[in-house]
Chain A
């Protein structure tokens, strides 16, 4: 676990506000963090939903980032058809680097996370939203998902524990 991951864990466990320097450390860290490429199973209904939209996926496991990207393109209409994993990753990193990006720390189903919500720069898509949300797991050291959203109230439910806006 990196020093910044330990910092995020410390902020969540103590529920204390981050200093300006600590906020900066987290933002710089997430802006360079990899998006999870761990191989994941595409289960039956997900596969069928993709096939119904003309997307054929091989039977083996797929990198997690690819699965998220397929959903963003074909289910949500939030990224253009043809977007590569590399472009998607760049978009998430670019969002995190927005000068006014708010930062939250929280625990989601036991996992220690940081979340960032920047004004969306991905606009020429069927269903653009006002913001891009980026979720980072301090437990895994990766960005675990990213999607467009209209605001924090549509992301953070009561099930999100120890939620604190840090910036």
Chain B
């Protein structure tokens, strides 16, 4: 991925989209059961851009392009994302292993000393265990 064209304004915009995703997620999840399919589609369309941006942010972080303040903000947003893994699955069908892509892309959260508390349904852990089992043992 060519990162040369990305400046601080890009990073701030990407962080803003991401912040709106994770901070509005509780409200979106509360509404989700009553939302029309069209409105759910709107949220999915929004997430396409936001999740793509999150991937770019990971590369920019690995490339040393985020300021300390931007790194701290990204770590906090990543923490909020993981803490709401159950809501991400409820609304978007993205399961915990898919959210953990942020660690492949790059996240300052991997260097944070604080614990991350993730609430997931037991069924999600079951799928996660299957995904982590070596293919030969399945």
Binding site for B on A (CB under 8 A): 36, 38-41, 43-46, 49, 64, 67-68, 71, 75-77, 108-111, 126-127, 129, 135, 137, 139-140, 144-145, 147, 149-151, 153-160
Contact = CB atoms under 8 A, between A and B. Distances in A.
Contacts of B53: 154
Interface of B: 1-2, 5-6, 9-10, 13, 16-17, 19-20, 23-24, 27-28, 31, 36-39, 41-49, 51-53, 55-56, 92-94, 98, 101
Nearest to B95: A159
A36 B23 CA distance: 24
Q: SS class of chain B's interface: helix, strand, loop or mixed?
A: helix
B16 A145 contact: no
Contacts of B38: 36, 38, 64, 140
A160 B47 CA distance: 11
B2 A111 contact: no
Contacts of A155: 48-49, 52
Given A109-B94, A127-B13, A159-B94, A41 B45 contact: no
Rank and list the top 10 A-B pairs by shortest CB-CB distance, nearest first: A144-B45, A38-B38, A43-B24, A145-B45, A45-B23, A64-B42, A155-B52, A45-B24, A40-B42, A43-B27
B45 A137 contact: yes
Contact of A71 (B17, B23, B24): B17
22 contacts: A39-B39, A44-B24, A45-B19, A67-B42, A68-B45, A75-B13, A75-B16, A108-B48, A109-B44, A109-B92, A110-B93, A135-B45, A137-B41, A137-B45, A140-B37, A147-B49, A149-B52, A150-B5, A156-B52, A157-B52, A158-B101, A159-B98
Most buried by A among B5, B43, B52, B53: B52
Contacts of B44: 108-109, 111, 144
Contacts of B48: 108, 135, 145, 155, 160
